[in-house]
Structures are given as C-alpha cells and as structure tokens.
Amino acid sequence: MTLTNHRILLRSRPTGIPYPDDFVSDTEATRRPAKDEVLLETLYLSIDPAMRSWMSENPGYQRAVPLGDVMRGGGIGRVLESRSSDYQPGELVQARLGWQTHPTLPARYLQKLDMAKGDALAWIGPLGLSGVTAYFGMRDIGELTPGDRVLVSGAAGGVGQIAAQIARFEACHVTGIAGGTEKCAYLANELRLDAVIDYKAESDLPAAIGRACPDGIDVYFDNVGGPTLDAALLHLRPQARVVLCGRISQVAADPPYGIRNLGQVLTRRARMQGFQVFSYHDRYEEARTWLAARHQQGQLHQRLHILDGLHHAPEALGMLFRGENNGKLVVRVG
Ligand SMILES: NC(=O)c1ccc[n+]([C@@H]2O[C@H](COP(=O)([O-])OP(=O)(O)OC[C@H]3O[C@@H](n4cnc5c(N)ncnc54)[C@H](OP(=O)(O)O)[C@@H]3O)[C@@H](O)[C@H]2O)c1
C-alpha cells in the first residue's frame, strides 16, 4: 500500500509575526525506507517560538530552513516500517519529524520514548523540550534556593507553567505574569501560584510587580524580554539571578525595546544569564527523570493547547506571538 505524505513547506521569510501565507502545502508518495531508515507516522508536533527564527535568513544558532523545504519541527511519531534493527513497527519515537504526516528518516536521528516515564502526550508536554528548558533554566541558571521570591513571565505558556511549578516545589514565593484574566485564573487556581499579574490589564507594570512582590525578586525567569524584563529589573534583591530564557515580545517589535534599568543589575550585584536548552543535551535524561517522577505523582501539570490536523500548523505558529495559545501549543497530526 502506498501512503501519501502531506507536507507543509516554507514559502517565504516573514518580517515580524509569521502568517499562513508564509507556507504552502503539497503531497507526495511516502518514500519506503532504505537500509537503516525508518518510515514514521507523525502523531504530535510541538509548535515553538524558535521556529520563527529558523524561518529567517540568519537564525544565528541554527541553519535556516531553505525556502521550498519542509518546515522544521519536532514531535512524536509511530514507526510504520523499519529497516533498522533498533526500531520495530508500532514503537513511539521523538525526532525532528518536520511538518509532514509520513516522514522517512535515518534511524540515528530518532529517540525511542521511554514509556515508563509517560505516554505520548506526556512526552510532547511536560517531558518535552519546554519542560526540560524550564528545569535547567530554573535550577542551573536560576540557582533556585528554597524560599526564594520568584517571578516568571509568560507563566501560562509551555515553559512558564513548568518553571513556576518547579519554584513551587522548592517552597518559593512564586508570582506569574500572563496576559488575560483566564490565564491568570489558571495560574492562581490550578497551579496555585502565590500571586499573578495580568500585564495586559496593568497601566503601570513596575508598580504591579511591586505590589505582587513586596519583598523583591531573587529569581526572575524571563520568557518575554522587552518592557516586562525592564520592569522586573527594578525589583531585584541583592544577588538576584535573571534567567534570560526567551524574548518573544521582541519578535515583532520595531524598533526593538531598549532596556533602561540595567543599572539595577550592578547595584544589586545581580547576575543576568541567557542559555539554550540544547547545551544541556547530555543531561536531558536527568531532567526527564525528575519531571516524570512529579508528573506521575500528579504534582506537575502542563495545560496543552491542541489543534487537530497538520493544516493548522501555519496558523498555530502565529498564535504564539499574539498570546492566543492557552498552554503548551501542539498540533495533533495522526
Ligand atoms: N532558551 C531556550 O533554550 C528556550 C527553549 C524553549 C523556549 N524558549 C523561549 O521560552 C519562551 C516561551 O516559549 P513557549 O514555547 O513556552 O511559548 P509559550 O509561552 O507557550 O507561548 C508564547 C507566549 O508568549 C507570550 N507573549 C507573546 N507575545 C508577547 C508580548 N509581546 N509580550 C509579552 N508576552 C508575550 C504569550 O503569552 P501571554 O498571553 O501571557 O502574553 C504567548 O502565549 C519563548 O520566548 C521561547 O523563545 C527558550
């Protein structure tokens, strides 16, 4: 039986927020695997802000997706046919599958899912790269210490939800910043954060942070950059740690926001450090063991926002930059 591979290709390089017009779809017959290759059925694709930079001519840390190529993206797939002794039909794997329904990939690019840690949804969710990013960002870069006063921006998103909960596990006072009443209610009522700030409803964000964090901030986990980062800097405690995880607010900012309050880093003898999760590749197993244990005990949650069908992937990517995702954004394909 010949299956059809539905694909979404990059058509143009966006300026600002990506739109569906930047992509085009096509179909091809699936390619039967050659020696040491595997034919897969894509089940879930993770939709991540980093994809926007891969669409640019000069992404910086990774090769750009060439125009006309299948859009790059990671996810979970099921083995349909294997010519590798390492994989059997029916097994679940994670890989850079790309935005396509039936990729044929070299077996060396796949990683088998450890089903003892969680099912496919757990692997695209809290055990996926957003959970791993939160783990290393909060613990290694943030040097989280029990009792710290912690502020997390983008707190209702994929990384932010996990980062905030990691701080809760360490008995920290945790404040989450998110856009809109529904997201803030989720943070307060479901994740039980100590304080929440709806930045879209605040005319004076520095003052709102001051009210939510009256004793200041030991760790600021920043997912958004721009004016939110600037406002947080005003409330640093001595020897605070600022974790630069992402700066999604600056993707469509023209001109980019200029940070004014860097002097606070000096006077508070604070540390500000960026990181990329890929640098921790050798320690992913450590993070996943830690996250899986808490997820299985019902202590760690991650709300997923799932769209059904590969054709939703192009519009999904833009949703991240408009705050339209209610949780970790995922496209269910198979
Ligand atoms: N360093 C790393 O290795 C690494 C790895 C993965 C992700 N990241 C970064 O982590 C961040 C979160 O990624 P994610 O996958 O978990 O996405 P996400 O938080 O699930 O989704 C993005 C969220 O960003 C917020 N946002 C968008 N535009 C904004 C603006 N102008 N101002 C303030 N907030 C805005 C929106 O939330 P609101 O509705 O609350 O505004 C939106 O829901 C991103 O910056 C990403 O680049 C870094």
**Residue at token pair 């502020």:** 151
Q: Are residues 103 and 142 in the same domain?
A: no
76 is a domain residue: yes
Residue 292 pLDDT? 98
CA of residue 246 to ligand 1 center, whole Å: 7
163 is a domain residue: yes
- 325 Cα nearest atom in ligand 1: 43
In sequence order, the 6+-apart residues with CB closer than 8 A to the CB of 34 are 83
Q: Are residues 140 and 266 in the same domain?
A: yes
CA of residue 182 to ligand 1 center, whole Å: 17
CA of residue 157 to ligand 1 center, whole Å: 6
Q: Are residues 117 and 135 in the same domain?
A: no
For 132-148, what is the mean pLDDT? 98
Residue 86 pLDDT? 97
Q: Are residues 90 and 152 in the same domain?
A: no
CA of residue 308 to ligand 1 center, whole Å: 21
Residue nearest (by alpha carbon) to ligand 1 atom 35: 249
Smallest CA-to-CA distance from 178 within 167, 193, 210 is with 193
Which of 46, 55, 141, 159 for a ligand 1 pocket mutation test, highest count of atoms within 8 Å of Cβ?
Answer: 159
Q: Are residues 208 and 317 in the same domain?
A: no
Residue type, 45: L
DSSP 313: H
Residue nearest (by alpha carbon) to ligand 1 atom 45: 246
SS3 274: strand
Q: Are residues 271 and 324 in the same domain?
A: no
Residue 334 pLDDT? 87
Instruction: List, chain by chain if needed, residues with CB within 6 Å of any ligand 1 atom.
Output: 48-50, 130, 133, 154, 156-160, 178-180, 183, 223-224, 228, 245-246, 248-249, 275-277, 320-321, 323, 325, 328-329
In this predicted structure, which of 55-64, 76-85, 148-157, 163-172 has the lowest mean pLDDT? 55-64
Q: How far apart (Å, rounded) are the C-alpha atoms in residues 236 and 219? A: 8
CA of residue 153 to ligand 1 center, whole Å: 8
- 49 Cα nearest atom in ligand 1: 47
CATH for 179 = 3.40.50.720
Point out the domain boundary residue: 278, 293, 314. Answer: 278
Checking if the pLDDT of 297 tops 90, the result is yes
Which of 48, 140, 182, 224 for a ligand 1 pocket mutation test, highest count of atoms within 8 Å of Cβ?
Answer: 224
Smallest CA-to-CA distance from 92 within 120, 130, 73 is with 120
Task: Tell me the percentage of the chain whose pLDDT exceeds 90.
Answer: 96
Residue 252 pLDDT? 84
Smallest CA-to-CA distance from 261 within 253, 272, 252, 245 is with 272
Domain that holds residue 18: 4-125+302-332
CA of residue 32 to ligand 1 center, whole Å: 38
In sequence order, the 6+-apart residues with CB closer than 8 A to the CB of 236 are 216, 217, 220, 242, 264, 265, 268, 270
Would you place residue 111 in the very low, low, confident or very high pLDDT band (cuts 50, 70, 90)?
very high
Residue nearest (by alpha carbon) to ligand 1 atom 19: 157
Alpha-helix runs per DSSP H in the chain: 50-54, 120-124, 129-136, 158-169, 181-189, 205-212, 226-233, 263-267, 284-296, 313-322
Polymer length of the chain: 334
Burial string for 198-230 (b: 16+ CB within 10 Å, else e) reads bbeeeeebeebbeebbeebbbbbbbbbbbbbbb
Q: Are residues 80 and 137 in the same domain?
A: no
188 is a domain residue: yes
189 is a domain residue: yes
CATH for 24 = 3.90.180.10
Would you place residue 125 in the very low, low, confident or very high pLDDT band (cuts 50, 70, 90)?
very high
Q: Are residues 221 and 180 in the same domain?
A: yes
Give residue-wise pLDDT tens across range 207-266: 999 999 999 999 999 999 999 999 999 999 999 999 999 999 998 898 999 999 999 999
Q: How far apart (Å, rounded) are the C-alpha atoms in residues 321 and 318? A: 6
Q: How far apart (Å, rounded) are the C-alpha atoms in residues 138 and 150? A: 10
Give residue-wise pLDDT tens across range 50-85: 999 999 988 777 899 999 999 999 999 999 999 999
Distances (CA, A) of 44 to 74, 93, 330, 331: 9, 11, 7, 6
Q: Check: CB of residue 179 under 8 Å from CB of residue 205.
A: no
Give residue-wise pLDDT tens across range 27-50: 999 999 999 999 999 999 999 999
Residue 267 pLDDT? 98
- Based on the structure, what is the number of domains in the chain? 2
CA of residue 49 to ligand 1 center, whole Å: 7
322 is a domain residue: yes
Would you place residue 2 in the very low, low, confident or very high pLDDT band (cuts 50, 70, 90)?
confident
Angle between helices 158-169 and 129-136 (to 10 degrees): 40
Residue nearest (by alpha carbon) to ligand 1 atom 36: 323
Mean residue pLDDT of the chain comes to 97
Q: Check: CB of residue 112 under 8 Å from CB of residue 93.
A: yes
293 is a domain residue: no
285 is a domain residue: no
Q: Are residues 251 and 316 in the same domain?
A: no
187 is a domain residue: yes
CA of residue 24 to ligand 1 center, whole Å: 25
Q: Are residues 91 and 139 in the same domain?
A: no
Q: Are residues 98 and 208 in the same domain?
A: no
Q: Are residues 267 and 152 in the same domain?
A: yes
Residue 212 pLDDT? 98
Residue 1 pLDDT? 63
**Residue at token pair 């970790």:** 328
CA of residue 80 to ligand 1 center, whole Å: 34
Residue 222 pLDDT? 98
For 94-116, what is the mean pLDDT? 98
Whole-prediction pTM: 0.97
Residue type, 313: A
